Amino acid sequence: MRSTLLSLILLFVAGFVQAQDKIYKKDKTVIDCKITEIGINEIKYRLSEAELEDSPIITISVADVDKVLLSSGREIEFKDPLTDPNAYTEDKKHALKFHFISPLAEHLAFSYEKSIRPGRSFETGLGIIGAGFNVDDYSKSTGVFFSSGYKFLKTPDFYSQRMKYSHILKGSYVKPQILLSIYRNKINSHGSPYYSDTDQDIVAGALVINLGKQIVYDNFFLIDYSIGIGYGFSNQKTSDDDYEYDDFRSYHYGFILGDSNFPVAVTGRIKVGILLK
């Protein structure tokens, strides 16, 4: 009889404990309570009867809560809209871009960008050297250049509840980027006393940090502009005793680079594009 009564008491106590709601805060503390209301910005609850028989209604901001566990066993998670992928389900997350000025610089360049998650995206590019307008009668190049970068969108300086990016690909950003140009450069002197005929196979690369901004219009069209600075290398000669003017190129289509005595690389881009689902 005693064992039966003890079992009933234990079941009653277990059922009472399970009947409590739990609020799990972001600071890892847990509140045992009875939730009375869950709103968009706040949660209202009473303290558990074991702690206070006549508890007032207490309010806590949703921004401070990680999740709640209801007495029924249902779990509700609260995610930051700024970083919650579900807040951007209508945004197109892929973009194809054309480097708008590239035809005037003796190449055609294109980029593809994919959103990885809110605030992060990956962008890769390809340039066809020699496909644009030839603006130099003495020099002609053919080859390719590649680029690859990871983009970090700027977060707000001041944060308010329920804030999110206006578009998952829109905003100011920092983008570390790797660039590599491989091409053959031919110079025809045309009898000029200032040039000699040369034929060079050039390999040049750079690691650049870009600062830029991407603007998205109507979830379809975008403009992306940026500038960057970093370090680079090339297989060209430097300023020594047998250096000649036409042996050295600073412009490598994907970027501008100094010689090994000053291996600073700079970039500048204006890109237009369309967004894809």
Q: For residue 110, what are the contacts with CB-CB under 8 A and spacing of at least 6?
A: 96, 97, 98, 99, 125, 126, 127
Q: Give the residue extent of every domain in the chain.
A: 21-77, 85-276
Identify the three-state secondary structure at position 100: coil
Question: According to the model, what pLDDT value does residue 196 have?
Answer: 63
Write down the CATH number for the domain with range 85-276.
2.40.160.20
Sign of CA dihedral 194, 196, 197, 200: negative
Q: Are 112 and 148 in contact (CB under 8 A)?
A: no
Quote the pLDDT of residue 163: 83
Nearest residue to 229 via CA among 183, 269, 271: 269
What's the rounded Cα separation, in Å, for the pair 115 and 170? 11
- Confidence at residue 17, expressed as pLDDT on a 0 to 100 scale: 47
Rounded to an integer, what distance in angstroms lies between the CA atom of residue 167 and that of residue 194? 53
Q: Cβ–Cβ contacts within 10 Å for residue 11, how many?
A: 10
Model pTM above 0.75: yes
Per-residue pLDDT of the chain (277 residues; tens, 9 = 90+): 555 555 544 444 444 444 689 999 999 999 999 999 998 889 999 987 766 667 789 999 988 999 999 989 999 999 888 889 989 999 999 999 999 999 998 999 999 999 999 999 999 999 999 998 877 777 889 999 999 999 999 998 877 777 889 999 999 999 999 999 999 998 876 656 665 667 889 999 999 999 999 999 999 999 999 999 999 999 987 655 454 555 678 999 999 999 888 999 999 999 999 999 8
Q: Please give the sequence-ordered ranges of beta strands (E in DSSP) within the chain, or none if there are none.
A: 21-25, 30-38, 42-47, 58-61, 65-69, 75-77, 94-99, 107-117, 120-129, 139-153, 171-187, 198-217, 221-234, 256-257, 264-276
Distance CA 166, CA 102 (A): 29
Residue with tokens 């009653």: 12
The domain made up of 21-77 is a member of CATH 2.30.30? yes
Which pLDDT score is estimated for 225? 98
